[in-house]
Structure 1
């Protein structure tokens, strides 16, 4: 039986959960464009106010995965990783997770990053990659070829989630965080088993790590910087939810744990993709400063998540090596060149 939009809206108004099978039905209707923009916006608002549950998010992610255009990446995938943030943290920093993928790949991880243009930030991952010269419009098999050749693939969300066309205008007009900010990072079309996921709210740390467990992930670190960053923070403690070997642990890490100096994220703010690109290139050129330090911290965490390093600290040491040697910059240039082959 179809679960109607009216029933869903009433459920959120009553602060009651939409059950897993009901959410599957609701999401399929939303993605098929069978629910009006007004009702879609109302339901998304209701879910946000009520706070989305593990079951609701897992069901919605399952539908998005079903409908996505997949990228087939042959094994081994032990070191295969997605580094992604929900965005919507309001920090307007440069693209830390995008810089992180070049460092992680240079140090031995394989990265399939999944992202789009900015929804609520100054510069989304797609915006800064385009500024670097990346061709975003690759077919799935071309993304797979770049992963095989360079260890990096970027999946531009609109190319892999065609059904999102029914929701994109609603999201743009709403201009606030919704369930879809959470779903994008959970629906990697290449099926990377390991994920470093930054979230915009502390409540999402425990929720998202459990959603990822339900979705069959292997090694996951969900992070929230206590200075409201959807990254591992250099300016505050970072909450971590870790899934490893089927076990979930929640804990906090601090920059000082790894011999790093606390620095405010004020030094990391950018106005647009051009500024983000400039800061990112400075990091890849190993220029000292807060930007390099936060990328080393996040890349170190990514290398631990990808099972390349045994600990975050060991990952940071690896990250510093590939930044100092120029390998991270070379990896970025190789990736740009790979995507341009298909232009």
Structure 2
């Protein structure tokens, strides 16, 4: 009989392996009896007469009230418990009051890596997925938002550069909440049709090298928490789950975050979620991109190992520039800058796009370093290939949406 999330730890005495066959059979019988009793009672048991300790944890489903009490006491909600709790939320089985209380409690005590990873796993379960046939060099370039910088859509512009330089991008995003122009707003302003089916998006990635996944279309269960989030009006765990829940399951990612503490948290959450090559970045000037105005903190996951380091624009031969020069007030202003960059206009907008595209090309394993990726990005713009990718995406999405 299979019981989910069973933790079964056995510390065996060295002499155990020397028992006779009948002795080992007796021990196995005792183990089965203890297992049965534990399954019935939900408690941990100790077998004193065996030359071993047997600890069994059969977790009972946590109640919302118990979860809330944990957050009040600043104690962690364990992985299997968080899975159960998040599924209740995603199915709309918790009241708005209880949902608000729990997510606020998590925020106050600070969400742990395990809680975030478990919540993201459930969001992935409930999502409408995009099945990409070949995920080689597939990457997402995304930010948590919330940095308040109101820059033009840097990662959206970088998307076309990445695709032109040999990567494939499954771009996942929504409309602006904390910014003047979200990635969906920018895509629409550029002429891209964002309401495609999962099959159309997969084909778009295969043919064009870019697919845009409008978040509300892929996470319908979020409608159950949308009113709560809107009324609360403060950051909750859901603000940091979006970048972890790419519907195309991109194995590689460049993720910007709005606080330096999230670099270590998000990169470890990505590790638990099975990412292959990931960079989580935080500009020291508060930008959720690789910044030109300050050094950038980087958390990198590669070959299962995590390293953290800092990079500086001057490491790549780029001049420092304050984010004030990159700000916009409307999606139309962002669109104008994106088009100028793709047309080859020099300046800080081009530099920051190329630097972030270069990092994404490194994450996608197209380039062997950010420096090499930067050079590939610059070539993609200078050759006109990046601009051609935008035109191809607009043409494809308009054709299939007609």
Alignment TM-score, normalising by the size of structure 2: 0.83
The partner residue of 1:64 within 123, 134, 156 is 123
Structure 1 residue aligned with 2:26 = none
Conserved? CA contact 1:241–1:251, under 8 Å: yes
Question: In 2, are the aligned partners of 1:110 and 1:147 still within 8 Å (CA)?
Answer: yes
Q: Structure 1: which 5+ residue stretches go unaligned?
A: none
Equivalent residue number for residue 23 of structure 1: 82
1:333–1:174 Cα change, 3 Å:
farther
Return the alpha-carbon distance in structure 2 between the equivalents of residues 205 and 78 of structure 1: 25
The one of 20, 23, 32 aligned to 2:91: 32
Name the stretch that deviates more: 172-181 or 239-248: 172-181
Query: 38-47 or 24-33: which moved more?
Result: 38-47
1:282 alignment counterpart: 340
What is the TM-score when the length of structure 1 is the normalising length? Answer: 0.97
2:103 aligns with 44
Q: Return 5+ residue gaps in structure 2 as ranges.
A: 1-59
Between the two proteins, the alignment pairs up a number of residues equal to: 342
RMSD, aligned α-carbons? 1.2
C-alpha contact 1:120 1:176 (8 A) present in aligned 2: no
1:266 match: 324
Matches of 1:71 and 1:318, distance apart in 2? 28
Q: Distance in 2 between matches of 1:179 and 1:148?
A: 33
Find the aligned partners of 1:111 and 1:234 in 2 and give their Cα distance.
23
Give the secondary structure class of the aligned counterpart of 1:342.
helix
Residues 1:341 and 2:399 aligned together: yes
Identify the range of structure 1 (231-240 vs 176-185) with the bigger mean alpha-carbon deviation: 176-185
1:196-238 Cα offsets, whole Å, 9 max, x none, are 0111111111111111111111000010111111111111111
1:234-249 map, 5 Å: 234-249=292-307
Whether the aligned pair in 2 keeps the contact of 1:119 and 1:175 (CA below 8 Å) is: no
Per the alignment, residue 157 of structure 1 pairs with 215
Contact residue 119 and residue 172 of structure 1 kept, 8 A? no
- Which residue does 1:12 correspond to in 2? 71
How far 1:39 moved relative to its partner?
2.5
